A and B are shown apart, each in its own frame.
Chain A
Amino acid sequence: MTLQTKFSKEEFVILAEMNTPKGVDISDLVTNVRHLKSRIDAVVIPDMDNGVMHMSALAGGAIIRQQGLEPMIHIYGRDRNRMAIQGDMLAAHVLGIHNLLVVQGENIAHGDHQDAKLVDDLGELDLLGMVHSLLKGTDLAGFELKGKPEFFTGCQVQPIRDDDHLEEELKTAKAKVDAGAQYIMVPPVFDIAYYTQILNKFKSLNVPVIATVFMLKNVGMARYISINDPGSKLSEALITRIRKAKDRETECIHIAGEMIKELKTEVAGIKISASGWEDRLPAILDCAGL
């Protein structure tokens, strides 16, 4: 069953984010995928996430497909122009990658190729339009395609800074849905009550909403997020909880698991971002009772 059908059947969908390697050693990726195969519905492959050069998401998606899982790849306009992206999209279809997530390319100032040239040929809405066009069988230049690709395409919401920003993001998301986004992926928030409130707003756009569960790993990371991303509402109590725990790693896994449990009834699906700790995903799912 494809992701799209699962959404339409209102099944709770579990996505796991896995980065492609910076290099050609795919053993970790493949091992992690194998451990999760029966437990998740799809793997989200970011593309040059954080502006750090990695193996392309397209190849990552193809590997996931080979392992028998459904891939979902990021597309964005920072590094490629419309020619390259359209070409890649056609390739994606052929390689069995049918789930796309249109994202905003990360600022390369934080990445590892800070002197790279920005392309930014297409913005997020343009990309959605492009996909829409491909689905109809024409490219952006209006030429007819030989064979139409099929995609299930969604969009991403930026981290919410405050309530004003929330309204702004809501508006943007609506525009994206209007432009063809079939689902919305909402960034991580660590306060369930507040998160529910945000999710409800996005749910009003009438497309499936996917929440993001971001795995904390230690106090340092929790503190960093609480300081640098106040919109995540990461509370002092949560930091204290990790600090007080006998085994902090296990506690973090529990926290992620609990988040998922609580979000399960709120959203159409969740994406778990374990960033590098994909080998702990099975434990998180255990804690979430999935």
Chain B
Amino acid sequence: MQKLKNSEDNKSNDKSVLVIGGGVGGIRSALDLAESRRNVILIDKSYSIGGLMTQLDRTFPTNNCDLCTISPHLSENTRQIHLDLKPMTQLEQLTGETGNFKATLVTEPRYIDMDKCTACGECYKHFPEAVRFTPGLDPRAPTCMRYPQATPYAFSIDIEKITDITALKKVCKADAIISDDTQKKIVIDVASIVLSVGAEMFDPSVLDNFGSGQFENVVTGLEYERIMSASGPFQGDLVRVSDKKRPQKVAWIQCVGSRGINKADVPYCSGVCCMYALKEAMVTKERFAESIETTIFYMDMRTFGKDYELYLNRAKNDYGIRMIRSRPHSIIENSKTKDLSITYAVEEAALQKTEEFDMVVLSTGFRIPETTIDLANRLGIELNPHNFAKTDHFNPVVTSKPGIYVCGVVESPKDIPETMVQASAAASMAASDLPAIMDMPEDENTFVPERDVSGEEPKIGVFICDCGLDIGGVVDVDKLVEFAGTRTDVVVSQAVGYGCSSDSMALIEASIKTNNLNRVVIGGCSPRTHETKFQDLMRRAGLNKYLVEIVNLRDQNTWAHMGQPKEALDKAFKLLGIGISGVRKSRPLMDQTLPMNQNALVVGGGVTGMTAALQLAGQGVKVYLVERAPVLGGLAKSIRKTIEGDDVGPFMNQLIDDVTAHENIQVLTRSIIVDHSGIPGRFKTGIQSGPRMNYMQLDHGVTILATGALQNRPDAYGLGTHNSIVTQFDLDALIEDDPEKIKAMNQVVMIQCVGSREPENPNCSRICCQTAIKNALRIKAIDPDIQIFILYRDIRTYGFQEDYYREARNLDIKFIKFSIDNKPEVWVENDRVSVFVDDMILGRKIQFETDCLALSTGMVADDETTEDLSMMFHLPRTLDHYFLEDHVKLRPVDMSVRGFFIAGTTHSPKTIRESITQAYAAAGRAQTLLAKKEINLGASIAKVDGTKCAACLICVRACPFSIPYINEDGYSYIDPAKCQGCGVCAADCPAKAIQLLAFEDDQIMAKLDGLFGGMN
């Protein structure tokens, strides 16, 4: 069983980074640090890590649990050397200062030896009340058993509840019970700290109007997730708590406990509830019944993230989810039926309406618990008025105390992608308190030597995951096991639960050893995500990692055919047949490696690109910063102030100075990228620069894309026809440069969503609401008598921006809602600008004669540039021409081509602060690659059999990379270090003298045989 190192044998005196909190953010930070070969200690007060996300059922946009996709990117080797996980551990005291902290950690007794426990469940069976590991029963428990939530995969004993310790010891076959386990206290040296403790979800039972905790069928969003989850209380069946019947009418009430002024309310917006409500409503219809009526009561629909608006449109148009803009006051339960009635105001008709629902979900937001406030005190960091960590205005992961960084919800309410970005950013910042990455020594290999299996008859072991219900819920895993067992050469066939969980992995490893297996088939999810993990397993078991075949039973079978279990089962048989037959022909192979180029190319010299460049340069990385404009600065140069009131100019000037002066950064302005080649870790990019377009080629190992976006200037509302009609960008400058002109105004009108959330540009520009409010507040500061009207569709002041929204309303700035079907009209007559809008509440058209019409136009992607670059770099883009990251939730900074990272507004619209965060994150992610001294090219390369080769030159001509040549012996030679492994030559070779390793013809034929029963 793979074990994480205990601190006792953590011999290194090297400074570590302490990550507090093992939720997704903490895990991401820890993994980033470990992957860039920094020592990291991850502590969590719970007995296993995973945090809040593990309680969610499915997440946007693919509506599946993706947490498991985090793990495979870290090889076991790295994990063992650099990552030290301490569950049930808390920070007691912190002394010292950045670079030289001394942290006192206290680990509570587990009463279980984690090295021995196999999580067999015997203890739980006999002493259920005493075991803190309770999968699948408590609806509130984090019970998703997928890695790494169930890390470490071991039980924990609540000693106070145990009466007969000897009896307990007896039932434990593994002899893992430590009855005299005690609290342990250690003091460690850490250079820096990442605080990632998240927050709690608000408990609405303190409110008396919604009946939470009182009415059985009123649940919180998180409880609803648990109900729908396969590992939840009803095994993934959506039923009412009261009568276990499928609800037919479900309502969501948004902003419960948030954006309020009442006693138990918090004023800020939690930022995530709109999306999760939409997701829950959609999943309800998708998984349970199309006919279930779903209604969301909301104040503003805040789908401000990347492609979130499309999600909203999908919910409305494709799923028919009803949205009602209203804040219901209370819920009344019918005591007999347990149905729930909601009374709400109908906006258009200005009347009250009552409607009955089977279930009501309260969308609650985040709260900082007392324990976090305590922890902050112990750490010595300041909190903001809402008790979230107070952070730097231009760098949200930096706290008031040097050396302590934050990420995730403890910084401010946010969703998973933003948490992931901050986690990588915090890791990157924390690493800068350690010695530079370029000076780090090589890691040693901890794998056991490989067993030579040549000459052995195939002995195949088949292991099949049920992946919770994802596989086992659709097909009968036992039947698969039975089927596989009948195939030739299969000596072991068994089901392994979650195959990627550490106990299953240990079980497989043990089986390989005891049964002397030499080939392994894993039936589970996609090899794209899990092949590395199982290859590591093979290496630990002493087998070559190419002797394993992953059969994609989940992504390409049970997920796709969940409605047709019979067909899925038949297909599963066939797929296993393919895999077993294929693995029989597999051979041990050696990976090829090349030295890594440790330079970085940063494309775009705006605030994002400069920040990323500086961060990498600080780590000793040579950075080429390429900018097409004559000067650095980008879009941020045209912004004067942030909503927090900070001056952007001086900040930018400082940044530009730092970048220009840095010895590791070569700034290339007036430069255009013209060509690109190479492989991750060894890229070659051609640029032309200067007035005469001088050509040069840059060698680099990683690329950060920070090309930004453009100010949107759509042809709308008379923009460009009258000098009183301006964009918010223009207004921002005007306020700063000519306050007298502002003073002369009487009335200012702003229109939101101009050129955004429209069919031609369907997404939300994210920044416009806060920009409008920022400018409005500044105008009010110049002259409080100026009347300001903001015409909007939804106000999306997420997080603490809500404070400014409230302030604006307090200052009598008027907000008037309009709908997309009934947009305001703008007239210019006699040099006067008039705006007409239908006031929904008043139910009539109103007119403003305005001195300044400010259009919130937001930004649009730089289509021409992203298109050019996407073609050269072979990177995907979104429909609205932003770059598309590898995984919208879990890998928001990585691109689909390894070695490419993305940050700033070329990813999606965002504020300067958010761009900076992502810049740090990109720099951090880039370091995970740059930390390697060599790149692994894999073993899939073309190999020539000289005796068969006719030296026909067909491969020489066919190779897209011009690698093969005819050697002195008169046959084709393919340099393994250069071969990219496409296999074109192998397919074209008329003498069949070339084979692509790992995809040899006999293997492909064997797979076909396996499919068609030629060999069983």
| A–B contact, 8 Å CB criterion (strictly below) | yes
Mark A residues whose CB is within 8 Å of B: 19, 22, 49-52, 106-107, 110-111, 214, 217-221, 223-225, 228-229, 243, 248, 275-277
Measured CB to CB, the closest approach of chain B to A99, in angstroms, equals 20
A276 to B695, CA, bound (A): 6
Measured CB to CB, the closest approach of chain A to B703, in angstroms, equals 15
A50-B691, A275-B695 known, 12 other contacts, Cβ within 8 Å: A50-B689, A50-B692, A51-B690, A107-B691, A217-B674, A218-B673, A218-B868, A220-B628, A220-B672, A221-B688, A223-B864, A275-B688
Let me know if B871 and A276 touch, CB within 8 A. no
Q: Is residue B697 contacting chain A, with contact meaning CB distance below 8 A?
A: yes
A50 to B692, CA, bound (A): 6
Measured CB to CB, the closest approach of chain A to B259, in angstroms, equals 44
Let me know if B691 and A110 touch, CB within 8 A. yes
Chain B residues with Cβ below 8 Å from A225 are 693
A217 to B689, CA, bound (A): 13
Let me know if A217 and B675 touch, CB within 8 A. yes
Let me know if A220 and B674 touch, CB within 8 A. yes
What are 20 A-B contacts defined by CB distance under 8 Å? A49-B694, A50-B689, A51-B690, A52-B696, A106-B690, A110-B689, A110-B694, A214-B693, A218-B673, A218-B872, A220-B674, A220-B864, A220-B868, A224-B693, A228-B691, A243-B867, A275-B694, A276-B686, A276-B695, A276-B697
9 closest Cβ pairs, A-B complex:
A276-B695, A50-B694, A110-B690, A275-B695, A217-B674, A220-B672, A50-B690, A220-B868, A219-B868
Chain B residues with Cβ below 8 Å from A51 are 690
Chain B residues with Cβ below 8 Å from A214 are 693
Chain A residues with Cβ below 8 Å from B628 are 220, 224
Which of the residues A22, A110, A217, A223 comes within 8 Å of B696, measured between beta carbons? Answer: A22
Chain A residues with Cβ below 8 Å from B674 are 217-218, 220-221, 276-277
Chain A residues with Cβ below 8 Å from B865 are 220
Does more than half of chain B's interface fall in helix, strand or loop, or is it mixed?
mixed
Interface string of B861-880 (1 = CB under 8 A from A): 00011011101100000000
Mark B residues whose CB is within 8 Å of A: 628, 670, 672-675, 686, 688-697, 864-865, 867-869, 871-872
A243 to B691, CA, bound (A): 23
Let me know if A221 and B672 touch, CB within 8 A. yes
Q: Which residue of B670, B675, B690, B867 has the most chain A CB atoms within 10 A of its CB atom?
A: B690
Measured CB to CB, the closest approach of chain A to B182, in angstroms, equals 65
Let me know if B695 and A19 touch, CB within 8 A. yes
Chain B residues with Cβ below 8 Å from A277 are 674-675, 686, 695
Using CB atoms, name the residue of chain A closest to B668.
A112
Chain B residues with Cβ below 8 Å from A219 are 864, 867-868
Measured CB to CB, the closest approach of chain A to B140, in angstroms, equals 54
Measured CB to CB, the closest approach of chain B to A64, in angstroms, equals 18
A229 to B865, CA, bound (A): 19
A53 to B659, CA, bound (A): 23
A107 to B670, CA, bound (A): 14
Let me know if A49 and B692 touch, CB within 8 A. yes
Which of the residues B688, B689, B694, B871 comes within 8 Å of A248, measured between beta carbons? Answer: B871
Let me know if B688 and A243 touch, CB within 8 A. no
Chain A residues with Cβ below 8 Å from B696 are 22, 52, 276
Measured CB to CB, the closest approach of chain B to A153, in angstroms, equals 21
Q: Do A217 and B688 form a contact, CB below 8 Å, given A243-B864, A276-B697?
A: yes
Chain A residues with Cβ below 8 Å from B672 are 218, 220-221, 224
Measured CB to CB, the closest approach of chain B to A70, in angstroms, equals 23
Using CB atoms, name the residue of chain B closest to A228.
B691
Chain A residues with Cβ below 8 Å from B872 are 218
Measured CB to CB, the closest approach of chain A to B207, in angstroms, equals 56
Measured CB to CB, the closest approach of chain A to B670, in angstroms, equals 7
Q: Which residue of A51, A110, A225, A228 has the most chain B CB atoms within 10 A of its CB atom?
A: A110
Chain B residues with Cβ below 8 Å from A221 are 672, 674, 688, 693
Let me know if B868 and A106 touch, CB within 8 A. no
Chain B residues with Cβ below 8 Å from A224 are 628, 670, 672, 693
Using CB atoms, name the residue of chain A closest to B864.
A219
Let me know if B864 and A275 touch, CB within 8 A. no
